[in-house]
Chains A and B, each alone.
Chain A
């Protein structure tokens, strides 16, 4: 029974390539989730019963079905209807759709928390509905929900490991290859665990900083 991490040294470049792929997928999925989350949150808070109902069904479904099932649905299903896209794109789409469901919930509560007086001021000044949404509702909702959105993003990073099940050699997928090449699975996965935990810790630090930056006006001024 030995525990020796140094045997991993020659495989670091390969693992870094995987980590880069994870970072790319997460960054794209983050953007996708935010766009979907904003649109769906707008629909859910809209006055149209049909639109808000449809948005609710989307959120309810994708929050209550395991991500791996969603992923397989797209990965095996899309070619069936003639859509051939690579595993990376499929993964990013699936992550965005699942992340969008969670983000929309967070953004929706951010929207509902906006003081109606502010919206009335915008309305009487003659701003159009789309300008009010883009310039007022969206930025206020986003900045109040930065922390919960951060948790959604951290979950996105952890969930991205599941993309290894559709032949994508992101961080976890690369680690699987290294584990079987070196016959040292314990070292590989123990290190991987620490890497992910450190990664999410860094993300949470970044979110804290972003939250402070966006809400800097509420901090005491540094004259």
Chain B
């Protein structure tokens, strides 16, 4: 379980997260929606320990991310996919995927490589396994990014606006992979702008506004007229996003 309790975070005088409470259980797919600047990416960066908390507590399977030793354990349980892919530019796709399994999980090179090739194959990149990131399209790069995260066999997959830098066609490539993962029971925290897609794969939807959690509802209820839509802020956001 990922547990977020009363988390606060500010950058200078700007408060980005203002007392967030959230729980993500194994097997859930939780989408985090909100406009730009609502703090949703920062929340993910707090969960994986890239940002220090100014208040509150986050634990991943009871390991406190604010504690350096426990953070290492917490990080073994979660894996992050980034908006801008952040692939290692000097390594081929397969090397990107195998680095952490070999170094952190102490897998043998042959074991890690065959697992990586199988993963890349499963996302349709079997033939591009030995290409460098610069030789891949954006959608292909993000698929490598997903494989890199999955290769760590994480209990929780953190997805930080992973389609925001992609054009619609490439977005579709990447989302179809997530849909498949959701079906296999992979636990996901999915920060996104893709409302319709979030609706199809999520078990729960969380809406953030100005650093505060406005609602945390099962997907069906979130989109129901008497559920999330009854909040003017959410209705406004959804109608704006759908128009775009």
Q: Which residue of A lies closest to B145 (CB)?
A: A121
A125 touching B89 by the CB < 8 A rule? no
Let me know if B172 is at the binding interface, CB within 8 A: no
Pick the residue among B75, B79, B134 that contacts A218 (CB under 8 A): B134
Let me know if B138 is at the binding interface, CB within 8 A: no
Knowing A118-B88, A131-B103, the reply to whether A125 touches B152 (Cβ < 8 A) is: yes
- Measured CB to CB, the residues of A under 8 A from B are 115, 117-118, 120-128, 131, 135-136, 139-140, 143, 217-218, 221
Minimum CB–CB distance from B30 to chain A (whole Å) comes to 18
Query: Chain A's interface: helix, strand, loop or mixed, by majority?
Result: helix
Knowing A115-B86, A117-B86, the reply to whether A135 touches B134 (Cβ < 8 A) is: no
Q: How far is it, in angstroms, between the C-alpha of A124 and the C-alpha of B80 when the chains are bound? A: 7
21 contacts between A and B (CB under 8 A): A115-B86, A117-B84, A118-B88, A120-B50, A121-B88, A121-B148, A122-B88, A123-B49, A124-B49, A124-B78, A124-B79, A126-B76, A127-B104, A131-B103, A135-B99, A136-B88, A136-B90, A217-B131, A217-B133, A221-B131, A221-B135
Q: How far is it, in angstroms, between the C-alpha of A76 and the C-alpha of B78 when the chains are bound? A: 59
- Measured CB to CB, the residues of B under 8 A from A are 48-50, 72, 75-76, 78-80, 82, 84, 86-90, 99-100, 103-104, 131-135, 148, 152
Q: How far is it, in angstroms, between the C-alpha of A122 and the C-alpha of B90 when the chains are bound? A: 13
Pick the residue among A120, A131, A140 that contacts B86 (CB under 8 A): A120
Q: Which residue of B lies closest to A115 (CB)?
A: B86
**A118, A121, A128, A221: residue with the most chain B Cβ atoms closer than 10 Å:** A121
Contacts of A122 in B (CB 8 A): 88
Minimum CB–CB distance from B53 to chain A (whole Å) comes to 16
A127 touching B84 by the CB < 8 A rule? no
Q: How far is it, in angstroms, between the C-alpha of A218 and the C-alpha of B133 when the chains are bound? A: 9
Q: How far is it, in angstroms, between the C-alpha of A191 and the C-alpha of B148 when the chains are bound? A: 57
